[in-house]
Structure 1
Amino acid sequence: MRIVNLKRMGIALLSVGMIATMAACGNAGDSKDSASEDQVTIDIFQFKVEFKDQFEALAEQYEKANPDVKINIETVGGGSDYGAALKSKFSSGNEPTIYNVGGPEDVEIWKDKLADLSDTKAADAALDGTLAGVTTDDGIYGLPYNVEGYGVLYNKAIFEKAGIDAAEIKTLDDLEAAAKTLDEKKGELGIDAPFALAAKEKWITGLHSSNAFLNAEFNNDVTEAYNAKTVEFKYGDQFKKYIDISNQYSVQPTNSLDYSQQIEQLFSNGKVAMTQQGNWVYNSIADINEDVAKNDIGLLPIPIDGVSEGTIPVGVPMYWGVNSNVSDEKQEAAKEFLDYLYTTDEGKDFILEEFKFVPAYSGFDTDKISDPLSKEVYSYYTDDKATGWVFMGYPAGWGENTLGAEIQRYVAGDATWDEIIKTSKDAWADARK
């Protein structure tokens, strides 16, 4: 299959703080408690809760084939602040062997604790452009998890019952018209509301929603965003309209809606017809309602009228970093594990069939991408209908702690749009002085 060149898309990462609630994963198997002195222990501190169980299963499989290696996995979900949790982890003296970093901002923060991964097989196999956010003049400091895309998820069965043709939704006006139709028919459709805006999750609005509009301002280039002294919100009016549609037609109050309610209670159970999320939610939906997951999920673009209609943002959500402070033996074991994950037949099978990942590496049989949501993301990706992720070019913490928090004030009616934009502009400029 043709692979799109991601360099122009400004691939970054999904910022530090994503998806669900804090969860500490125990040991991957009882045998870990009795590790021999000859074993090398790899402690992994990672953010993605959606594949936690599958990742632990893979670790058990790896341990059986490599009895000289013990793997401990701890997972911190995005409802919690992964960046803060990672700093606490290092401060405690219990430093992980493998941990997660994002793009340029994270590499700068953690540079003294990141090993150069240029010599790994996985780095050689990474798709063109996927390493851009973690590459400097002197090395490669992360390996991409996967490729992900997001937009407005919709329930095909509800749309069909409402007489809405998803293919005709190409502009914000089209999205608003669909939401209005769903609202007028919500009684007969059996839904609570057309939309679920999980504004409690500041990463959803302050990172993902904003990226769709700021990406166009920064020309699909995370480095341009990272170097920008100011942000203008060139497409701020359209950003406002998108937030207004999402909020007005949502289950209320939106500031109380978290990821669990959004996906597990509302969307998975057909209580709303639309919500902003990406292909990473497939396993969560399938665990609750397999029929909806397999048959009823579609993905709509977040349109910027006249600029990037018909596209979705696609990027690398996070990177694996290896701690340069641990022993050479542990660093080598960590690199071998990551190579196993992305360059061996067993690892690739897990990536495609268990993790449900869209691979960020060559050598995969992409015809085996198993879930329909990931297939749709991959179709956008290979059909040149994808824009980039620039949100990790934002100043540290700005997306969630400033813009996401300000949007919470806006949807609560405590501030005007002009006020929150001014506050966000000023905070960006202050951070870049």
Structure 2
Amino acid sequence: MRHKRMKKWGTGLLAAGLLLTLAACGNAADQGGDKTSGSGSEAEAVEIDIFQFKVEFKDQFEALAKKYEAANEGVKINIETVGGGSDYGAALKSKFSSGNEPDIYNIGGPEDVNMWLENLTDLSDTKAAGEALEGTLTGATKDGKVLGLPYNIEGYGVIYNKEIFEKAGIDASTIKTLTDLENAAKTLDSKKEELGLDAPFALAAKELWITGLHSGNAFLNAEFDNDVMKAFDSKTVEFKYSEQFKKYIDISNDYSVQPTNSLDYSQQIEQLFSNGKVAMTQQGNWVYPTIADVNPELAENIGILPIPIDGVTEGTIPVGVPMYWGVNPNGSEAEIQASKDFLDYLYTSDEGKQIVLEEFKFVPAYKGYDTEKISDPLSKDVYTYYTEGNTTGWVFMGYPAGWGEQTLGAEIQKYVAKEATWEEAIQSAKDKWAEERE
């Protein structure tokens, strides 16, 4: 891969870590092809380098890029995907520090916006920004400028195997509280031999983002009024719902395949859940393609249960924007405009919309989509929770950089390993938040 010319680089980024190594995760780091210059067009040839984190739709995204190239002579798109078990944040810093800067890349919420501010283009004039659903631009807007376009809407909770629940005599629609979830786990545990289960649950505590970002967010969003900017501006964190948080981690851990600190994403989803060895695990609608690849029949018979705060947000799941697309202002005018045009095509053209819905399996964060075509059961559940108002927000993008994983996730690992009490783990997380926000 040839290097672009050296682009403007802010040295402060070298010392910073990206907020998220999130989300919807596999275990690969893949690079899309060697770079060549565009050719054969009377217009100026332009290359767009895209560096993105979501491995689940890598193949479909690359196929879409080829369609775009075929329809836009002289445009060459190079896609590099680093996600899942790889550290996207570290890889992105490396790209910029080497001078091989991407034209389009991913950022999280307000922490990332501040961190990468000098390397983000104002996208307020794009068609996609104008079509974004209410609230989806908040985490990537600063001083009235839209600095990132939302990927999609994602939701997560406790995904479950409907067939196993039916065999166990559990009515999933009655599970609204943590006590309901615990009772379901007890029932499954009592019948695990006849159901062919290794355990009712799989808690992938090895993955710090699962516990520190996602589990933590489920119990901190109410503390921050579902407002990512309130979390971002807060000097302290109280863990107002610490008791409920502890109960959820205890349920997940006590009824899980052990040891939970050794369970990674691949074991959690590909080996255990997709093969019917566990009935429940915390994940989101982004895992559907992975499950469908392993076990297509099972993939059509799964759903999402709540992660509730008893007495506060019962019957709800957290829903939000997982990442944003940022455009590098340090390229040529042609590269910047081509990047904007591609993102507009992706989310606002008829062809792009069809691919986003039917091939990417995204729940769109933009207007003008036929949501009746949302096809997979997890995304359908997310959309139902969303449209019925049974959702809470995503505030983890407002955590201090690295705190969710390296502090809270690491402290939860200590707790489940019995190396710290819950009180010690939470106090350490409180102290680190305050220290980071001094």
Any conservation in 2 of the 1:105–1:395 contact (CA below 8 Å)? yes
2:403 alignment partner AA: W
Of residues 301-310 and 75-84 in structure 1, the stretch that sits farther from structure 2 once superposed is 75-84
2:12 is aligned to none
Secondary structure in 1 matching 2:155: strand
CA distance in structure 2 between the aligned counterparts of 1:148 and 1:380, rounded to whole angstroms: 11
| Aligned residue among 370, 379, 385 for 1:380 | 385
| Aligned residue among 99, 111, 117 for 1:111 | 117
Q: How does 1:197-216 map to 2 (within 5 A)?
A: 197-216=203-222
Is it true that 1:359 corresponds to 2:364 in the alignment?
yes
Any conservation in 1 of the 2:204–2:265 contact (CA below 8 Å)? yes
Measured after TM superposition, the shift of residue 83 of structure 1 is: 1.3
Gaps of 5+ in 1: 1-12
Is it true that 1:75 corresponds to 2:78 in the alignment?
no
Q: How does 1:11-410 map to 2 (within 5 A)?
A: 15-18=20-23, 19-27=25-33, 33=36, 35-36=38-39, 38-294=44-300, 296-410=301-415
Measured after TM superposition, the shift of residue 36 of structure 1 is: 3.1
Measured after TM superposition, the shift of residue 60 of structure 1 is: 0.8
CA distance in structure 2 between the aligned counterparts of 1:16 and 1:321, rounded to whole angstroms: 16
Mark the CA change 1:34 to 1:228 in structure 2 (over 3 Å): closer, same or farther: closer
CA distance in structure 2 between the aligned counterparts of 1:124 and 1:275, rounded to whole angstroms: 37
Secondary structure in 2 matching 1:106: helix
Any conservation in 2 of the 1:14–1:316 contact (CA below 8 Å)? no
- Residue by residue over 1:140-177, the C-alpha shift from the partner in whole angstroms, topping out at 9 and shown as x without a partner, is 10000000100000000000101111111111111111
Measured after TM superposition, the shift of residue 22 of structure 1 is: 4.1
Any conservation in 2 of the 1:201–1:258 contact (CA below 8 Å)? yes
CA distance in structure 1 between the aligned counterparts of 2:20 and 2:115, rounded to whole angstroms: 13
CA distance in structure 2 between the aligned counterparts of 1:235 and 1:409, rounded to whole angstroms: 20
Measured after TM superposition, the shift of residue 14 of structure 1 is: 9.0
Secondary structure in 2 matching 1:200: coil
2:423 is aligned to 418
Mark the CA change 1:319 to 1:413 in structure 2 (over 3 Å): closer, same or farther: same
Measured after TM superposition, the shift of residue 81 of structure 1 is: 2.0
CA distance in structure 2 between the aligned counterparts of 1:102 and 1:194, rounded to whole angstroms: 33
1:305 alignment partner AA: D
Identity percentage over the alignment?
A: 75
2:123 alignment partner AA: L
CA distance in structure 1 between the aligned counterparts of 2:424 and 2:26, rounded to whole angstroms: 29
- Residue by residue over 1:376-407, the C-alpha shift from the partner in whole angstroms, topping out at 9 and shown as x without a partner, is 10010000111100001100000000000111
CA distance in structure 1 between the aligned counterparts of 2:38 and 2:47, rounded to whole angstroms: 9
Mark the CA change 1:105 to 1:14 in structure 2 (over 3 Å): closer, same or farther: closer
The number of residues matched between the two structures is 417
1:9 is aligned to none
Mark the CA change 1:306 to 1:92 in structure 2 (over 3 Å): closer, same or farther: same
Any conservation in 2 of the 1:14–1:317 contact (CA below 8 Å)? no
CA distance in structure 2 between the aligned counterparts of 1:358 and 1:287, rounded to whole angstroms: 20
Give the aligned CA root-mean-square deviation in angstroms. Answer: 1.4
Any conservation in 2 of the 1:101–1:107 contact (CA below 8 Å)? yes
The TM-score, its normalising length taken from structure 1, stands at 0.94
Higher relative contact order (CA 8 A, sep 6+): 1
2:168 alignment partner AA: A
